[in-house]
A and B are shown apart, each in its own frame.
Chain A
Amino acid sequence: QSALTQPASVSGSPGQSITISCTGSSSDVGNSDSVSWYQQHPATAPKLILYDVNKRPSGISDRFSGSKSANTASLTISGLQAGDEAHYYCCSSATGNTRNLFGPGTEVTVV
Chain B
Amino acid sequence: QVQLQESGPGLVKPSETVSLTCTVSGQLINEGYFWGWIRQPPGMGLEWIVSMHYTGFAYYNPSLRSRVTMSIDTPTRQFFLNLTAVTAADTAVYFCARQWEPGRFDIWGQGSQVIVS
A: residues with CB less than 8 A from B are 2, 32, 34-36, 38, 44-48, 51-52, 57, 87, 89, 91-93, 97-105
Contact = CB atoms under 8 A, between A and B. Distances in A.
A95 to B, nearest CB: 9
Contact of A100 (B45, B51, B106, B111): B51
Given A46-B95, A46-B108, A98-B59, A93 B45 contact: no
Interface of B: 36, 38, 45-48, 51, 59, 61-62, 95, 99-106, 108-111
A32 B103 contact: yes
A102 B104 contact: no
Contacts of A48: 104-106
Contact of B102 (A89, A100, A105): A100
